Amino acid sequence: MRQHRALRVALLLVIVVACAGYTLWWRNVADRISAQSNGWIEAHRAEGWTIEIEAGDSGKLSVGGFPFGWRLDAGAVRLARQDGLRAELRDLSAYTAPWSPHRVRVEGNAIAATLPAGTTRPVGTLSASHGEALLDIGDAMRTQVTLDAPSWRAGDAAPVASRHAKLVWEQRGDARNASLSLDELHLPVTSPLGETVQALDLAVTAEPPLPEGLDAASMQRWREASGVLQLTRVNLSWGPLTLAGEGTLALDAQGRVELAGTARLSGWSETIDALVASGSVKPNGGALAKAGLGMLAKPKEGGPKDKGEVTVAVAIQDGQLYLGGIRLGPAPPLRLF
């Protein structure tokens, strides 16, 4: 009986010591997170940034979340750089757990950001109702950002909006890869295929790597260094058209995106009908295009030729989108400097 009681007391002491040790370790990590976060803020303020946070009367960030992790709540945050770069959001928080200390989740609401104008690029504004970022700082640096109801506006132009966006950025050594997925992308252009792209998914590799700042001067230098983006995956659903392909992206002298690649198309017959109906392509031209593509089409087993898949060239040049040499209309307005 006494032996059992002694075992219980010993077990209780072990639990108490373990809890005390964990508490001290948690407190030490929390202090380091707080110090590093506040140090980052002060360092950027010294560089000329304006940073305003809702962090209590002290104006310092503190860490909570005990005992299952570390949570940093900053409330509303406003940042501004001297060159005109600005960002603000509400309910900003960051969280990490003891079992995955190299992974950090950051969330915020009512996101608004302003990108300063470049040489030929107007001021850009980005907004989203909610955003979440997953940062993995292990052997491969990986960042995944998701935005709800994102919208992008360049100058006074109509906005480009989407229901949902997902961006993944990964760096392993000198290799940097990115992927982007957009659902229900609403374009501010009139196109025979409609103003809404149902889905867009692409993956790219930058050669050489993109500059970290993505400011106008850095992007110009990147272009002058023969910078290109290799599109390793492109999937598009736009009206009747379904496209899968790959290609190369570059920037022209005005900072506009140029594209040269190949695409595998389905729904091309219905797409040509829409182009003819809108007046973008003359009836004779549409008939010739159908005949030519029909000769290249690989029909599904037992299916008609006009329902088959066709492989064609796709290009963006001088602000226009071309498919198989046929102009579909203006490309989405995107200038990077």
Q: What is the pLDDT of residues 61-116, one digit of tens each?
A: 778 888 889 999 888 999 999 888 899 999 999 999 998 888 999 999 999 999 88
In this prediction, residue 169 has a pLDDT band, given cuts at 50, 70 and 90, of: confident
Q: How far is CA 25 from CA 14, 36, 66, in A?
A: 16, 17, 11
pTM above 0.85, yes or no: no
Beta carbons within 8 Å of 145's beta carbon, 6+ residues apart? 131, 132, 133, 166, 167, 168, 169
Q: What is the pLDDT of residue 306?
A: 66
Q: What is the pLDDT of residue 119?
A: 67
Lookup: tokens for 205: 């590799």
In the DSSP assignment, the letter for residue 240 is T
Lookup: tokens for 308: 């088959």
Q: What is the pLDDT of residue 292?
A: 80
- Count Cβ atoms within 10 A of the Cβ of residue 263 and give its class: 0-12 exposed, 13-18 middle, 19 or more buried: buried
In this prediction, residue 164 has a pLDDT band, given cuts at 50, 70 and 90, of: very high
Task: Identify whether 98 is preceded by a cis peptide bond (ω within 30 of 0).
Answer: no
**What integer is the mean pLDDT of 151-164?**
90
Q: At 92, which amino acid appears?
A: L
- CA pair distance 22, 214, nearest whole angstrom: 42
CB 89, CB 108: distance < 8 Å: yes
Q: How far is CA 260 from CA 132, 205, 210, 324, in A?
A: 33, 15, 19, 11
Structural domain boundaries in the chain: 178-337
Lookup: tokens for 136: 């993995």
Task: Identify whether 67 is preceded by a cis peptide bond (ω within 30 of 0).
Answer: yes
Beta carbons within 8 Å of 233's beta carbon, 6+ residues apart? 179, 201, 202, 203, 246
Residues 207-249: pLDDT tens digits? Answer: 887 776 667 777 888 888 888 889 999 999 999 999 899 999 8
**pLDDT higher than threshold 70 for residue 283:** yes
Q: How far is CA 223 from CA 119, 235, 317, in A?
A: 14, 25, 16
- CA pair distance 195, 200, nearest whole angstrom: 14
Portion of the chain with pLDDT greater than 70, in percent? 90
Nearest alpha carbon to residue 126 among 165, 68, 100: 165
Average pLDDT for the chain = 85
**pLDDT higher than threshold 80 for residue 331:** no
Q: What is the pLDDT of residue 305?
A: 65
**What integer is the mean pLDDT of 134-142?**
80
**Runs of H (alpha helix) within the chain:** 2-46, 216-224, 268-278, 283-296
In DSSP notation, 267-321 reads SHHHHHHHHHHHTSS-HHHHHHHHHHHHHH-BPPTT--GGGSBEEEEEEEETTEE
**pLDDT higher than threshold 60 for residue 57:** no
In DSSP notation, 171-210 reads EETTEEEEEEEEEEEEPSS--TT-SEEEEEEEEEEEESPP
**pLDDT higher than threshold 90 for residue 253:** no
CB 91, CB 65: distance < 8 Å: no
